[in-house]
Chains A and B, each alone.
Chain A
Amino acid sequence: MRGMSSRASALVAAAAILVTACSTTGTPAGGGAVDQGKPFVFASTQFSPVTEQENMRKKILAAYQGASVDFITDQSAVILNRISAEAKAGGEQQIGLVGIENGEFAALVAAGAFDDITKIADKHKDQKIPQDMLTLGKVGGSAQVYIPWMQATYFMVASKQALQYLPTGADVNALTYTQLVAWAKNITDKTGQKKFGFPLATDGLIHRLIQGYFYPSYTGGLVTTYKSADAVTMWNDMKELWKYSNPQSTTYSKLSEPLQSGEIWLGIDHVARLIDVLKAKPDDFVAVPAPAGPKGRYYMSVVIGLGVPKSSPNKAGAEALIDHLLKPETQILTLRENSFFPVVSVTMPSDLNKGLQLEADAVAKQASAKDAKVVPLPVGLGAKGGEFNKAITDTFVRIVLKNEAVPTVLDEQGAIIQKIMTDGSVKCWGPDGSSSGPCQVK
């Protein structure tokens, strides 16, 4: 009996192996009867959550009629390494189109990985993609490296339970950081609980909040004001805010989860990392602009672009896919399904999901606030991007979590940042204005 069953299981295993051997040799299904050229991979650093991937494959790409496309996504480093490996190997490879974030293009452009797609950009002229975004797409050169695909930003979400503790005179739609600290303190005083949340897990986006929100709002700059007196004020406020923040923050990679479970009531994060809670409980939360500091209400604009690698196996197919992704109806579908905003001119539908509507309103309020100022993600760091982010996050960890002396940390981390700027000859960007040589830490 025993012999029988183990033999049977061996047979099953063998059959399974045979089935795979057959199934993996074929190319993925898809494409129409008309020959549209070689199948290719659309590789992206965005939409890595399994739900968003499937929305992309089953809904956003559903109406696309061209050659068979396989949408593949992974952690940023994995996708970027792959693009760079295919560029180095040369010839025709698998990736036909890439969709990555503005700042991720620079290093690949330096390696000559992309085609000039000025012609495709010209074709979409009447779709009114904002000119400054198209200029970003040239990545500092004259050739159009990428065409903007979609955009996103960061804003604040608050539980309605927290609204009763707002400090007197504060308008939730026009908060300052000082009022935010007072609000979080008030909640702790009245309820005994720490209800502010920072996205501090290793894959959380705290470095973006520091680069695009805290620093510029307090100091009007980032690198050039890194060690300024205004920066010291900012760090002291952050230390104060941390007292009323949930210590579990160090495990939060996206704030929608602690917001949804009620562990925290307030937090600032990327739209894609907040939308789940707004969609799940639109009646329990408000979405509001990020707070303002003494220098203004700075916010960060994230632009995702589409580029065609030189090693693309099907350039006509890639162009057809770009055309599809830039159609107004596809752009609105992308907003509905995966909550990234259109870059082309579209008429916003009136029947948006309640959570999406909250998001759209918050983004509009943030952009149109009187003191609003927009900054891009760090530009020109290329391969040094990771190091720079780490230096920034380390500053937060040392000052706020480990309670080290602010001036010492700013000196030491400032030296690290200066080395990154000098070694990579990175010029100033965004809030720091422009510079002729490497940006100088001050």
Chain B
Amino acid sequence: MNARVLDRSLLYGSAIFLAIWVLVPFYLIAISAFTPQAKIFDYPKPLVPTSFSTETMQFFLEARGVLPSVLNSLLVAAFTIVFGLALGTPAGYALARFRFRGREAFQVIVLATKMFPIAILSIPLAVTFLQLGLYDNLVSVALVHTAMALPFIVLVTSGVFVAVSHELEEAAQTLGCSRWGAFLRVALPLALPGLAAAAIFTFVISWNEVFAATILTLRTRTLPAQVLASLSTSPLAFKFAGGLFMVLPAIAFIFLIRKYLMNLWGSR
């Protein structure tokens, strides 16, 4: 009995510790973002804000391109999910279901693309996209993000389809389904939670990506490219405002999708 109480308190204690560890910086950023600019350099800083001002945040939000960049980011992420799943799911399915020559090599090569540093591609990539007329276009950013996310999608979806018993598909086929029909009516619905998890990670990869977004766009920037471009040299107050503004959507997103995350980690 006592051991159980101890166990519980340890568990809750460490959970609370971890929560504080994560939340305190958020809290400090949040109160600094809404501190009047004149008080931002006060030291020591009060833990409870004594004055409140939306001036910095308002200026930041009204700065050119900040609000549109949020929508740009959402759009790029949506395109990336569509492209990525359309290309990655069949590849994952094939890896899970079929034995074919070069299957292992394919798996390694898919992973190897992750080792390639995209930084050395910057100018050639920009020149190619300029020549193709795809420069400064959300679809072009989504294409690069798809290339970055594909290895991940292929590996996750192949894991998902391995877990879906192929006997069920065969059973469906004996009952009159075509191969495609069996996939569509049996394997796909069973794999959906896993695919959703892959989509979520694709979203996160795209949402956080700065480099390609920076080199491939000029006016239609995504949020991280827009914010990081101007914040590193901006006055302190704006760093807090921008930081908070970048963190909030991520937190909101994690709250919305956390049950799918659990799915991916196997505790269904």
Interface string of A76-91 (1 = CB under 8 A from B): 0010011011101100
Beta-carbon contact of B74 and A16 below 8 Å: yes
- In the assembly, what is the distance between CA of A95 and CA of B130, in Å? 12
- In the assembly, what is the distance between CA of A21 and CA of B38, in Å? 39
Report which of B74, B122, B218, B232 forms a contact with A94, defined as CB distance below 8 A. Answer: B218
- In the assembly, what is the distance between CA of A374 and CA of B131, in Å? 44
Residue from the set B72, B78, B256 with the largest chain A CB neighbour count within 10 Å: B78
Which one of B24-32, B57-65, B97-105, B182-190 is at the A interface?
B57-65
Measured between beta carbons, the chain A residues less than 8 angstroms from B234 are 48-51
Beta-carbon contact of A54 and B75 below 8 Å: no
Beta-carbon contact of B59 and A75 below 8 Å: no
Residue B46 interfacial (CB < 8 Å):
no
Residue A246 interfacial (CB < 8 Å):
no
Measured between beta carbons, the chain A residues less than 8 angstroms from B122 are 81
Interface string of B46-64 (1 = CB under 8 A from A): 0000000000000110111
Measured between beta carbons, the chain B residues less than 8 angstroms from A168 are none
Beta-carbon contact of B71 and A82 below 8 Å: no
Report which of A82, A88, A260, A276 forms a contact with B218, defined as CB distance below 8 A. Answer: A82
Measured between beta carbons, the chain B residues less than 8 angstroms from A261 are 41, 43
Q: What is the interface residue range for chain A against chain B?
A: 35 or more
Q: Which residues 26-80 of A have a CB within 8 angstroms of B?
A: 28, 41, 43, 48-51, 53-54, 57, 70-75, 78
Residue A262 interfacial (CB < 8 Å):
yes
List the count of A-B residue pairs having beta carbons below 8 Å apart.
113
How many whole Å from B252's CB to the nearest CB in chain A?
Answer: 10
Beta-carbon contact of A20 and B127 below 8 Å: no
Q: What DSSP secondary structure best describes chain A's contact surface?
A: helix
Report which of A24, A41, A253 forms a contact with B72, defined as CB distance below 8 A. Answer: A24
Measured between beta carbons, the chain A residues less than 8 angstroms from B111 are none
How many whole Å from A94's CB to the nearest CB in chain B?
Answer: 6
Residue A19 interfacial (CB < 8 Å):
yes
Residue A373 interfacial (CB < 8 Å):
no
- In the assembly, what is the distance between CA of A23 and CA of B71, in Å? 9
3 nearest interchain CB pairs? A20-B71, A89-B130, A85-B126
Q: List 14 A-B contacts (CB under 8 A).
A: A9-B256, A13-B74, A19-B71, A49-B230, A50-B231, A51-B59, A57-B64, A70-B218, A74-B229, A75-B229, A81-B126, A85-B126, A89-B130, A262-B43
Residues of A whose CB lies within 8 Å of any CB of B are 9, 13, 16-17, 19-21, 23-24, 28, 41, 43, 48-51, 53-54, 57, 70-75, 78, 81-82, 84-86, 88-89, 93-95, 203, 253-254, 257, 260-262, 276, 280
